[in-house]
Chains A and B, each alone.
Chain A
Amino acid sequence: MADLRIKNLYKSYGEVKVLEGLNLEIASGEFWVLLGPSGCGKSTLLRIIAGLEDETAGEIFLDNQSITTLPPAKRGIAMVFQTYALYPHLSVRGNMSLVLKQAGHTKEEIERRVAESSRALELNDLLDRKPSELSGGQRQRVAIARAIVRNPKLFLFDEPLSNLDASLRGAVRIEIAQLHQRLSSTMVYVTHDQVEAMTLADKIVVMHDGDIQQVGSPRELYETPANLFVAGFIGSPPMNFLEIEKIDKSLAFLYSGETISVGKIAPKTHGKAKMGIRPNAWQLVSSDSKSADIVGEVLLEEYLGDATYVHIKLEDGSQVIVRENPNKNNKIGKKIGINILPDSIHLFDSVTGNRLNG
């Protein structure tokens, strides 16, 4: 149990800047997820926390003590890797006990701790197997057991589920969530998968190009994204964006001349903007209905069982996705009207990308 504080962290490889002045404060026992597309610097940040890479500038505190200059083994952390990184020549037991041997624990202590964590992850029957004799899910469980056996102050996960197939991914994800509930240790988890991030995290840090875009709970990120990047990144299928020419008297003017009421949520007047609407925040109505805010033409239907995603081409040529009741049937090529639920509109400035409504 420990809190992690990152102060003004910079990292560059020669001319290339990877992280630019990051600040984070993670309270003890929280589960934080670093989320972002590949190349956003999230893995680099994790490796710097672990001590596997040197920072260019900045400081890292764990439990109010600077660990910036400590070697990885002395930081009191444990890490789980995407590729499992099990020692191929050691048995499961050997993999788990190596770190304790290195730390100089007694034989009884090592045995007790290995037994404890192998029980926690149901590895008792596998203790004498080599990693090559295990399945992918079992290997990742061994890697997690190897991490908890040392009682770390901080757990680091580097895309631990990416190498598993879809069904196992769900199962191991639940195991990690239960692990966090049971140990209530501080955990930092890196992923590019928003489902993992949304389901596991207390707090999500959305990163892009070495910068933090937004920090918040999954609900905050989904309901009030701070900028265009977060809005487009969180949610599947992604948020739809409509170009707005101007906002005048709480009416947003589309380039096609149609207007949409933005209600009380937005500034009364504004220049160019983008309007974000999630696929489930509008409804299809008939094209000649009075309540239709905009009209378009059905391009494609994706039937998923519990919902249908209808792809619609608007008059200005842009495409949007509407989540629809799967029982309704919309013919391809049919003219259709869309009715926007005014409370679920997100507005962003076109130039800065920042959120306009509260």
Chain B
Amino acid sequence: MAISRARRNLIAELGAHAFLLTFTIIALFPVILIIINSFKSKKAIFRDPLALPNSETFDLIGYTTVLTQGNFPLYFWNSLSVTLASLFLILLLGAMAAFALSEYKFPFNRLTGLYLALGIMIPIRLGTIGILKLMVATGLVNTHWALILVYTASGLPLSIFILSEFMRSVSADLKAAGRIDGLSEYAIFFKLVLPLVRPAMATVAVFSMIPIWNDLWFPLILAPAEETKTLTLGAQVFVGQFTNNWNAILAAMALAIIPVMILYIIFSRQLIKGLTAGAVK
């Protein structure tokens, strides 16, 4: 009996692993395809897209094109600064609003929370024309601020929604202790509450970061100038009406993965770090 149960467990475990492996392969396949083909010559890409680069087909032409043609270091910097500035504002303002909603009693508290969360369900792109008019009127077209403001606005609803739920779970006694010890409300927010909701902040950061980094729509409409172009928009120069420079496109995409990966690793570390353990029972 015992043996057969152990065997059945083994089979179940193998099955689970097979399922997960299949899923991982499907998810990673496009990424791997991009990376291996970015190191191949153009002919080799089309002759055998699945083959690994070898001594004959290995070619860095894609990377040299990307790094010499156009302003890719600048595009990189643009994407990075827009993403980081938006993330900073989303997290800071979102956490502050969430703190107010979860900590203070005021009339229409619940209703305000619902109103702020409503944005999760309404795609911000519906308001593109209005946003463009607004940016023209304020003279923000072709500046990073146009993008940062739009991304902050679109990221805040989810951030407020998730963070306010988490902040409700922070011990009320801890905040009371802070007040009795003479900490200001800002100190309670920054020193006591924020460290405790760090895992939730990391979650929000990851969820908000990826759509901002990958967005093509708003950079194209609000900031298409050469000096404010983001990476995704910059890569479009290799997409022609009749021919595409596949080497360069693949190389640009492969390079674009790196910063997101780095940010993801930073945030996911925070996700795992449990600071709250032992603070309150």
Residues of A that sit less than 8 Å from B by CB = 47, 50-52, 71-73, 77-79, 81-89, 98-99, 102-103, 130-134, 136, 139, 158, 163
Contacts and interface: CB of A to CB of B under 8 A. Distances in A.
B180 A73 contact: yes
A130 B179 contact: no
Interface in B169-193: 171, 173-174, 176-183, 191-192
Q: Kindly list the 10 A-B residue pairs having the minimum CB-CB distance in the complex, ordered from nearest.
A: A132-B278, A88-B279, A73-B182, A85-B173, A102-B182, A85-B177, A81-B173, A99-B181, A83-B280, A72-B180
Given A130-B278, A132-B278, A73 B195 contact: no
B177 A71 contact: no
Contacts of A130: 278
Nearest to B176: A52
B180 A77 contact: yes
A31 B191 CA distance: 34
A89 B181 contact: no
Contact of B182 (A103, A139, A158): A103
Given A73-B182, A83-B280, A102-B182, A88 B275 contact: yes
B277 interface: yes
Contacts of A134: 278
Which residue of B177, B276, B278, B281 has the most chain A CB atoms within 10 A of its CB atom?
Answer: B177
B196 interface: yes
Contacts of A133: 278
Contacts, number: 81
30 contacts: A51-B179, A51-B180, A73-B182, A73-B183, A77-B180, A83-B171, A83-B174, A83-B280, A85-B173, A85-B174, A86-B280, A88-B196, A88-B276, A88-B278, A89-B195, A98-B181, A98-B183, A102-B181, A102-B182, A102-B183, A103-B182, A130-B278, A131-B278, A131-B279, A132-B277, A132-B278, A132-B279, A139-B278, A158-B173, A163-B281
Interface string B179-213: 11111000000011001100000000000000000
Given A82-B173, A85-B177, A88-B279, 19 more contacts: A50-B176, A50-B180, A52-B180, A71-B179, A73-B179, A79-B177, A83-B281, A85-B174, A85-B176, A86-B177, A86-B279, A87-B191, A87-B192, A88-B195, A89-B275, A102-B182, A131-B278, A132-B277, A134-B278
Interface of B: 171, 173-174, 176-183, 191-192, 195-196, 275-281
Contact of A79 (B180, B191, B275): B180
B34 to A, nearest CB: 41
Contacts of A82: 173
A83 B278 contact: no
A77 B176 CA distance: 12
A83 B181 contact: no
A334 B280 CA distance: 52
B169 to A, nearest CB: 13
A73 B177 CA distance: 10
Nearest to B274: A132
A130 B277 CA distance: 10
Contacts of B279: 86-88, 131-132
Contacts of A136: 281
